[in-house]
Structure 1
């Protein structure tokens, strides 16, 4: 939709003039001391006060997620500055931090309780298959900027750590049922138990049933999202100094779409995701400090209809040790070992693999020292991680962070980091149809991207300057960043093939290499404020520019421009939480996203969307909510699908009625 200033003004008036009557326990209701004491794990791999973090970090608490009305993690991430979220199908998402937005954002590490959900297949997250139980998320920590010195390669632009609730906090029973305006039902059930000895167990299961998006002409895009997930979590007595936890899940998801395959026309294919994992972690304290050991095994399988399938088995072991504070120093170090087995099978020439099976081993070690230069005023953090793989060259990823706290309310930080992104299995071994376009003298050709086993890692040098101030009933944050990328994977002209894959259309062959480089730079602003006891406001705004260096290679420069043009240069999110009474809530969110330039016709225009959620609590144990998305307009499109090309999908106005009962 075209930007309409009257709609933005109307939305802001509704947000700012609404009022009500009772406080809740989200971030915007906390005092100055409570805000400063919010615990963050993702910045330094330890529980750390938000006010002591030398990083651009946002914490979405459980109540923030609930009142946002988010039914998935990407929807909740819209509240965070610096995070670009575009939905282009019922289960298809493009999520990135600080640029390089893509269906598989290769420079963003996503974890659930320390378990990486970053797939080595396409160096990204299959958001289609990450249908978590939102009620069981304790918080989502989002660190913008590199985190590779602690978390390893691929934590290039940011780290998203999803922390689930301790089983002791979910005892009793819960039933949730919902239905949308198309009649699609969803159900979730959870049972929590307290066991002998103080341990606690949670078991749960839920379904997913999302209506399809629409085509430009108003027909169904046939990309409905269906599936289920079930799991458990077992925790030891939380009162003990030592703690252990075991969790596991199994899931199955179907996310079909219609692919556009150049001269071959369109092809309907269901993407079937299934997987399971089990994770165990123990934390204990000794005279030598605090120690943590975590291990998990994970199975993930993706079947692309008649195209092919891929299976990834992962075994991961992570150890870390935080030493007692010695003088001005606090050391933490750790070791990691990961084994991954990747096997693929292709059934059509649209995608082919040079190797059907690959074994990948990764060894890593990290160390970090936090140095108090001036007590309660100046702190320096030095850290580095070394990673070695059986595929590719070893990587050294250092960081330097400086934190200045001129007062109890103010924090200023700056940091420099180097991070690396290892090439994915697909980039090394997959040859695939990249699209179709005019290529003189031919009216249309099929672009075929060829595999390249000898790709090296991409790298970034990132600089950041940030300021955070705690207010009496809220906080504000402003961050400037500049990130310089080298050895980026790109494509160049590799020849013409006749006849082509889809005769009589010729094929233009594209060779992969590491000759691209780019810069992203911008500013992020975030804030939250309790205006009064009844009204609380939140703001997240990002201004960003992504530019590739010009090479003179028409194919490479054109491909780089396509990647850069998938990123908006600004986006805004405004939230209002309104307590109408002790039983009623009204939550409003206005989102504005700038246009994506240079996209294929009809393109992605700037759009403004307003979402609303109304909640009524019958009692402490029962509530009913009505959520409306895209309140002002009939529909809009947010992104042009990449990797698996398809026509634009449009999100229409949607209604969802949800009932939740705990007992």
Structure 2
């Protein structure tokens, strides 16, 4: 929402944008769907601006969340980053929403909720990233269960006329990106394209080549109207498989994603604004291979014994299993949003939306038919300035899908301004997370090609799942000391999740579901878990100038949980409630950036993550606590009329560590970058 309260009125978009960067306090756009100063947002927010993004040296969006307290970031492979807030995750996190310029990038179609590699935006085109720490279902619905990452790209007119960036480094890093701006009278057009490629992590089959293209058109078609058109596509070629596992052969997977979005905004007056957003999105994946069944059996068995086992099941020695994880997703989403000042002391934003997802994947849903999910939503948020020091916020989103009843996620918050630079915050909220299609309807079976014999039953449908339910309470303090350029952000919270959906890997198979390799077992999702997370997050930032800062984040978390328990059969495996190990007790980050004479600058990000488990690793071993240090040195200079920057980035300096599985160490990596802007 591009309106900002100034002197009791709503500022026009141009003035609002100026205040975003030059005001006393940062402005957030997405906490309540109202543009508001950070100290008036109904919860804790972290802002990663353009200068921080560049100074980080990050090649991937997920890396930037290391700068946010309470987040855990790992790499299942070189092309599969994992991100979660306050744990409760496995190798497919799905309890957090990511938005890009008002478009939901949450895609819980098959397994995970966020496919970072399918986001088309160029990291150089990002203006800022706003992270709402805590549930924000009251503003954005079920997908914002544990938080929202809102990515805001730069207006097209704010893009350099031309830009080229290249990275070259270890592990086959070969990145090239380019952007071009065209001024078309009352419109501005940005075109961005690039390729990202590397050889992934040592000892893993995870090479990648990702091609991206993105377009944004901003058109002021009338004095009181603006049209934004976005479009983008991603084409990926990803190496998959395991070197020493015949059941997971080496192969290449192809992914394609494309979207188109149009947003019309009408500013009727300084007090009122209306916008309508529609987007269409399509995704496709190709991942097919064939398994020779005898190679998936215990390799310690003599060949004659293996042949006898196969014969006992009526199978020949050359019995094979075709695997084809091809899938297609089509999403259409339309949303209306209206903001209006009701009186001098209150503002209201309300709206409605409808989304339709059409999913096709015979291997995952055991049907050639489309799985159709339709969701309608109605949302509203009222901001009331109850006095010179009090600001109250009331908000809720009601959602109804074609697969269940309506669920309403409300929130109440109160901000009390102790002084012009210090604010106390309190909020209480309720949120629901509706089961994903994969959780509710996944039916993954592997059958022999000729006989049709069931070889393995990987997942059976989980009918009757209830939504997860979250009740959250938090108390916060935000202090902004302008004379010292110091910001203090403290959040203390309790989050209780009921009906937690977990995967029961020992669930009995349904009638007729006995398989050769799994016996009478077919995993299933169930509402078996409960979790109570308590903790505190602290963020301290000293920023004397836009391009100089020193920051420290710290999070202390404690979780009590009930649910699925690990096995005692193997002493190396976990034998406690799995959810209790998914949250590190302590985590911290120290980040700094400083500029020197002659255009030189240096950055460092040092993070510490306590021991935790993503509870779907191959052996379920807890990942030990680890440190990671990234360092970047850069020099800005001029080549005639061209602005240039050369940089050296060293990631994971020091000894190697593991962030996803203790068996999977990540080593040091360095690369050189050159950026030219005109």
Match of 1:592 in 2: 608
Q: Provide, for residues 622-660 of structure 1, a one-character-per-residue CA deviation record: whole Å limited to 9, x for no partner.
A: 111110011111x221013xxxxxx94332111111111
For residue 546 of structure 1, report the CA deviation from its aligned partner: 2.6
Q: What does residue 362 of structure 2 align with?
A: 345
Q: 1:68 to 1:226 in 2, by over 3 A?
A: same
Residue number in structure 2 paired with 1:192: 181
1:457 paired to 2:467: yes
Q: Does the 8 A contact of 2:20 with 2:26 survive in 1? A: no
Q: Name whichever of 364-373 and 285-294 sits farther off.
A: 285-294
Q: How many residues align?
A: 604
State the match for 2:599 in structure 1.
583
The one of 598, 623, 628 equivalent to 1:609 is 628
Deviation at 1:449, TM superposition (A): 3.5
Q: Following the alignment from structure 1 to structure 2, what is the Cα–Cα distance between the partners of residues 33 and 660?
A: 24
**Structure 1 stretch 125-134 or stretch 151-160: which is displaced more?**
125-134
Partner of 1:107: 95
Shift, 1:205, TM fit: 0.5
Q: What residue number does 2:45 align with?
A: 57
Aligned twin of 1:632: 654
Pick from 255, 258, 274: which aligns with 1:291?
274
Tell me: CA distance 1:33–1:224, structure 2 relative to 1, closer, same or farther (3 Å): closer
Report the CA distance between 1:490 and its aligned residue: 2.9
Aligned to 2:210: 227
Aligned residue number for residue 155 of structure 1:
144
Distance across 2 between alignment mates of 1:381 and 1:49: 14
- Using the alignment, how far apart are the partners of 1:231 and 1:127 within structure 2? 15
Could you tell me which residue of structure 2 aligns to residue 23 of structure 1?
A: none
CA contact 2:181–2:190 (8 Å) conserved in 1? yes
Residue aligning to 2:426: 414
Which of the numbers 155, 159, 170 marks the counterpart of 1:170?
159
1:520 shift after superposition: 1.5
Q: Does 1:118 align with 2:109?
A: no
Out of 236, 239, 254, which is 1:256 matched to?
239
Deviation string, structure 1 residues 92-145 (Cα, Å, up to 9, x no partner): 111011222333322101111111111131350112323631110000000011
Question: Is 1:213 aligned with 2:201?
Answer: yes
Query: Partners of 2:430 and 2:463 in 1: how far apart?
Result: 24
Equivalent position of 2:561 in the other structure: 548
**Using the alignment, how far apart are the partners of 2:435 and 2:52 within structure 1?**
35
The answer to whether residue 230 in structure 2 is matched with residue 247 in structure 1 is: yes
Q: Distance in 2 between matches of 1:495 and 1:40?
A: 49
Q: If the length of structure 2 is used for normalisation, what is the TM-score?
A: 0.83
Give the Cα separation in 2 of the matches to 1:161 and 1:256: 30
Please, which of 373, 388, 398 is the counterpart of residue 410 of structure 2? 398
Aligned to 2:480: 470
Which residue is 1:572 aligned to? 588
* Offset from partner CA, 1:43-102 (integer Å, 9 cap, x none): 121221112212110111111100011111111111111221112321111101122233
Partner of 1:380: 392
Q: Residues of 1 paired with 2:265 and 2:196: CA distance?
A: 34
Partner of residue 371, structure 1: 384
Q: TM-score scaled by structure 1?
A: 0.85
Q: Distance in 1 between matches of 2:100 and 2:546?
A: 34
Alpha-carbon offset, residue 240 of structure 1: 4.6
Alpha-carbon contact 2:509-2:521 (below 8 Å) kept: yes
* 1:469–1:504 distance in 2 versus 1, CA, 3 Å: closer
8 A contact 1:225–1:256 mirrored in 2: yes
The equivalent residue for 1:357 is 370
Match of 1:439? none
Alpha-carbon distance, 1:39 to partner: 1.8
Hey, what does 2:677 align to over in structure 1? 662
Q: After superposition, where does 1:442-521 map in structure 2 within 5 Å?
A: 448-472=458-482, 473-492=485-504, 493-495=506-508, 503=516, 506-521=519-534
Give the Cα separation in 2 of the matches to 1:357 and 1:76: 36
| Counterpart secondary structure, 1:508 | coil
Query: Retained in 2: the 8 A contact 1:184–1:209?
Result: yes
More displaced, 378-387 or 533-542? 533-542
Asked if 1:329 is matched to 2:315, the reply is: no
The answer to whether the Cα contact below 8 Å between 2:204 and 2:242 also exists between their aligned partners in 1 is no
Offset, 1:479 = 0.3
The alpha carbon displacement at 1:505 in A equals 5.9
Measured in 2, the distance between the counterparts of 1:261 and 1:560 equals 29
Residue 581 of structure 1, CA deviation: 1.6
The answer to whether the Cα contact below 8 Å between 1:498 and 1:506 also exists between their aligned partners in 2 is: no
Larger RCO, structure (CA 8 Å, separation 6 or more): 1
In structure 2, the partner of 1:90 is 78
Pairwise CA distance, 1:406: 1.2
How many angstroms apart in 1 are the aligned matches of 2:279 and 2:433? Answer: 22
Higher mean C-alpha displacement, 537-546 vs 355-364: 355-364
Question: Would you say the 8 A contact 1:205–1:231 is kept in 2?
Answer: yes
Alignment of 1:124-163 (within 5 A): 124-130=113-119, 132-163=121-152
Aligned in 2, Cα 1:355/1:370: closer, same or farther, shift over 3 Å?
A: farther
Check whether the contact 1:200–1:237 (CA below 8 A) recurs between aligned residues. Answer: no
Is the 2:657–2:666 Cα contact (8 Å) retained in structure 1? yes
CA deviations 1:477-516 (Å, max 9, x no partner) are 0101111111222345433799998746635233432232
Task: Please say if residues 89 and 651 of structure 1, whose CA atoms lie closer than 8 Å, have aligned partners that are also in contact.
Answer: no
Q: How far apart are the structure 1 equivalents of 2:81 and 2:645?
A: 29
- Listed as ranges, the gaps of 5+ residues in structure 1 are 1-29, 215-219, 435-444, 641-646
Question: Following superposition, which runs of at least 4 residues in structure 1 exceed 6 angstroms of deviation?
Answer: 30-33, 496-502, 531-534, 551-555, 557-560
Partner of 2:59: 71
Q: Does 1:280 align with 2:262?
A: yes
For structure 1, which segment, 390-399 or 127-136, has the greater mean C-alpha deviation from structure 2 after superposition? 127-136
Q: Distance in 2 between matches of 1:73 and 1:192?
A: 23
Shift in Å, 1:539: 1.0
Question: Structure 1 residues 398-407 or 102-111, which shifts more?
Answer: 102-111
8 A Cα contact 1:86 1:638, kept in partner? yes
Cα 1:468–1:352 change in 2 (3 A) is: same
Against the structure 1 CA distance between its residues 550 and 247, is the aligned structure 2 distance closer, same or farther, given a 3 Å change threshold? closer
The answer on whether the counterparts of 2:457 and 2:513 sit within 8 Å (CA) in structure 1 is no
Can you list the C-alpha shifts for 1:366-393, whole angstroms capped at 9, x where unaligned? 1221112112x00111111111111111
Structure-1 separation of matches of 2:397 and 2:511: 48
Give the equivalent residue in structure 1 for 2:28: 40
